[in-house]
Chains A and B, each alone.
Chain A
Amino acid sequence: MDGSAPPSAPSSAQVLIIGYGSPIRGDDAIGPLVADRLARDGVPAGVTVLSRHILTAELVADLIERDRVIFLDAAVAGAPGTVRCQRLHPDAHAISTMAHFLDPRELLAWCETLYGRVPETYLVTVTGASFDYDHYRLTPQAEAAIPPMLELIRALMLGTASEQAGCHGGDRPVGQDPAARV
């Protein structure tokens, strides 16, 4: 834990939200599904929403232009339906062996090494109950986690996430999520 509170973003903060995961692996679709819902419902000016199957290298060019980045993903650790928020930091050791999928911390390390700046970054996850083959359909546990997840994302978007939201974590590892790599 680094103990520092997330800085409040000015209203002009440029925010990027990236939901990622496989649309055909059950609850792994929650990242892109929630991103799509945010985009459909509308986001404040200065907020951009992307929906991705996987994270790829060229996203670095999008990250460095933003003040704050929020990744949305499914997780395998914990009780199904648990919403978790982590502060992410660059990690050059999180190098993927498959070049078509990058860990978000590796993307941040690219930003740091190449551009000398890293956006304030969070990872919001929901623990999935099933990662079996299913097209854009979530389990009831994951579905029920969407409203609190959206609430948390909106708070992060505006820079008003509370200490209780758990977004102040320092270097807690991001769970290796094999389902997200499909």
Chain B
Amino acid sequence: MSRTITIEPVTRIEGHARITLQLGEAGEVEDAKFHLTQFRGFEKFCEGRPYREMPALTARTCGICPVSHVLASNKACDHLLSVSIPPTGEKLRRIINLAQLTQSHALSFFHLSSPDLLLGWDSDPVSRNIFGVMRQDPALAKDGIRLRQIGQTIIETLGGKKIHPTWVVPGGVSEPLVQEKRDAMLKLIPEGLDIAKRTYTFFKTLVPKFKDEAEHFGNQPTMFLSLVSPKGHLEHYDGLIRIKDAQGRIVEDMVPPHEYERLIGEAVEDFSYMKFPYYKPHGYPHGIYRVGPLARLNNVDACGTPYADVALAEFHMLQESGPIASSFHYHYARLVEIIYALEMMDRLLKDPTILDARVRARARSNRSEGIGVSEAPRGILMHHYKIDDEGLINWVNLIIATGHNNLAMNQSIRQVADAYVDGNNLREGMLNRVEAVIRCFDPCLSCASHAFGEMPLAIELRAADGRILDTLRRG
């Protein structure tokens, strides 16, 4: 008799989702699916709006990474204007993007994933949360708060407010940076870097304890897709698309982001509102790839900042050769990127031209189609708009970082379920591992589906006739 286990909602992620595990006669996992259960439809309701509204509209996609949407949207608008933004405007945009990455990665590591990493996947779920972390390691919890505060303060200093800032505009940024603000932000960097370094050092001591999880948490051969700089260095704001295969061979390189449609197709499945992007030349679903911190570090030749480059070298030592395959190491990559972001912000803020008053190019729309691509914390983010002669949007496509990872997340939960779930002896720790592999990707489902709402958690083991055979509840 076939049975289904449902995990709903998946906890400690951004947004709401459900996981179902289909069991066979002997209690083995026959199939695993990650369902995005809610729908908001930004691509449709933005139609008819003036293109200049798009940064503000699409920023509402998410309360965690609005800056990422603001940047990708404004880059699409830059493309519509056919302007090249002033160099200082670009540097300022880079800083706010890196501050966003810092606070978002800090939230993922300290708030969402540290309960599993510090307390263990099998620990009492009642205390396996941020309060359990505070009691176990208060210094780490305080570091998490402070690092997020540093990232958010830089966003607010530049953008005027932490959530949905309107300082980034088509053609650049609305106001130049003044020395007082520059100095205030620079003062924050050393403390942030100290926190990032000691957290990274601490996490390195934990990694050997998770050999089994590293072996089974989405440890799979996929391609990796990210932006890289023209030199092949780590790049979060601009750059060119690089794709490596599972063996580390470069299959696409230095592809202008405006050509993304040549590389990426989008499939749909009837069990999820999240799209399934794939690498077109390999077809669906064989064209599976991963994006985000793991992909970015696997794809680059160097980070380009001193301490992050040391950490990158250590990252590559997690495996004997080739790209780091285990999705568990997204956590590691995230910490390396926080170090990089702080080092790079320091460099940019000390740039002699950073106080230049020329920060914005002004123009009317000069094209009917605009594409903006940047790296959000969770991976490459694409905004693509078409407008009519009046400047009104008549077509939108958003490919969100979490969406790029959809195929990989589905494959990952299958691998974890195969390794840990015994349908005849359902235990909470097994199912927490299934959730935890999703947390490795740090999915932002609000972005990927524009999800909205809340549900209590219920995990049910159901017979094929619908009878509930076993239930676990949290919260």
Which positions in A face B, CB cutoff 8 Å? 24, 51-54, 56-58, 60-61, 92, 95, 97-101, 109-110, 113-114, 181
Give the contacting residue for B63; candidates A51, A53, A97, A110; CB below 8 A: A53
Asked if residues B111 and A95 are in contact (CB atoms below 8 Å), the reply is no
Instruction: For B148, list chain A residues within 8 Å (CB).
Output: 56-58
Q: Which residues of B are in contact with A by a Cβ distance under 8 Å? A: 9, 11-12, 14-16, 60, 62-64, 103, 107, 111-112, 129-131, 134-135, 138, 141-142, 144-146, 148-149, 152, 161-164, 454, 457, 475
| B163–A114 touching, CB < 8 Å | no
From B9, B14, B149, B475, contact of A61 by CB (8 A): B149
- Chain A interface helix/strand/loop/mixed: loop
**Bound CA span A165–B142, Å:** 36
Name the B residues within 8 Å of A101 (CB-CB): 63
- Nearest-CB residue, chain A, relative to B108: A99
Minimum C-beta distance from B369 to chain A (A)? 28
**Residues in A neighbouring B457, C-beta threshold 8 A:** 97
B107:A99 contact, CB within 8 angstroms: yes
**In the complex, what's the smallest C-beta–C-beta distance from A178 to chain B, in angstroms?**
8
Q: Which residues in B have their C-beta under 8 angstroms from that of A54? A: 63, 163
Name 13 A/B residue pairs within 8 A (Cβ), A-sorted.
A54-B163, A57-B148, A58-B148, A95-B131, A97-B457, A97-B475, A99-B12, A99-B14, A100-B62, A100-B64, A113-B138, A114-B134, A114-B145
- A110-B134 contact, Cβ under 8 Å, with A53-B63, A60-B145, A99-B107: yes
In this complex, what residue of B is CB-closest to A178? B454
State the total of A-B contacts with C-beta under 8 angstroms: 70
Residues of B within 8 A of A95 (CB): 129-131, 475
Query: What 16 additional pairs, Cβ within 8 angstroms, besides A51-B161, A57-B148?
Result: A53-B63, A54-B63, A58-B148, A61-B145, A95-B131, A97-B9, A97-B457, A98-B15, A98-B454, A99-B107, A99-B112, A100-B107, A101-B63, A113-B131, A114-B134, A114-B141
Which listed residue (B15, B134, B146, B164) contacts A113, Cβ 8 A?
B134
| A53 B107 Cβ-Cβ under 8 A | no
Report B143 CB to chain A, min CB distance, Å.
Answer: 11
Residues of A within 8 A of B142 (CB): 114
A54 to B107, CA, bound (A): 15
How many Å lie between the Cα of A133 and that of B111 in the bound state?
31
Question: Contact at B14–A57, with CB atoms within 8 Å?
Answer: no
Q: Known contacts A52-B163, A100-B63: does B14 contact A109 (CB below 8 Å)?
A: no
Chain A residues with Cβ below 8 Å from B141 are 114
A101 to B107, CA, bound (A): 12
- For B453, the closest partner residue in chain A by CB is A178
CB-CB under 8 A from B60, the residues of chain A are 24
Chain A contacts for B62, CB-based, 8 A: 100
> How long is the Cα–Cα vector from A89 to B431 in the complex, in angstroms?
34
Minimum C-beta distance from A106 to chain B (A): 9
- A residues in contact with B64, CB < 8 Å: 99-100
**A57/B162 contact (C-beta < 8 A), A24-B60, A109-B131 known:** no
- Interchain CA distance A181-B134 in the complex, whole Å: 25
Q: Are B63 and A57 in contact (CB under 8 A)?
A: no
- Return chain B residues, CB-CB under 8 Å to A181: 454
Please give the distance in Å from B99's CB to the nearest CB on chain A. 12
Q: Which residues of chain B have C-beta atoms less than 8 A from A99's C-beta?
A: 12, 14, 64, 107, 111-112
Q: Which residue of A lies closest to B112 (CB)?
A: A99
Pick the contact of A57: B16, B111, B454 (CB < 8 A). Answer: B111
Residues of chain B within 8 A of A100, CB atoms compared: 14, 62-64, 107
Docked complex Cα distance between A3 and B366 (Å): 67
Task: Give A24 to B163 CA distance when docked, in angstroms.
Answer: 13
CB distance from B250 to the nearest CB of A (A): 36
Q: Is the CB of B107 within 8 A of A57?
A: yes
Cβ distance B60 to chain A, nearest Cβ, rounded Å = 7
- Measured between beta carbons, the chain B residues less than 8 angstroms from A56 are 148, 152, 162
Which residues of A are found within 8 Å of B11, using beta-carbon distances? 97
Interface centre among A92, A100, A109 (most CB of B within 10 A): A100
B168 to chain A, nearest CB (A): 17
Q: How far is the CB of A49 from chain B (nearest CB, A)?
A: 13
Q: Are the C-beta atoms of A98 and B14 separated by less than 8 Å? A: yes
Most chain B C-beta atoms within 10 Å of own C-beta, residue among A24, A52, A54, A58: A58
Residues in A whose Cβ lies below 8 Å from that of B63 = 53-54, 100-101
**If the complex has contacts A57-B107, A60-B145, are A97 and B164 also in contact, measured as CB distance less than 8 A?**
no
CA distance A21 to B67 in the complex (A): 19
Contacts of B138 in A (CB 8 A): 113-114
Q: Which residues of B contact A110 (CB under 8 A)?
A: 130-131, 134, 145
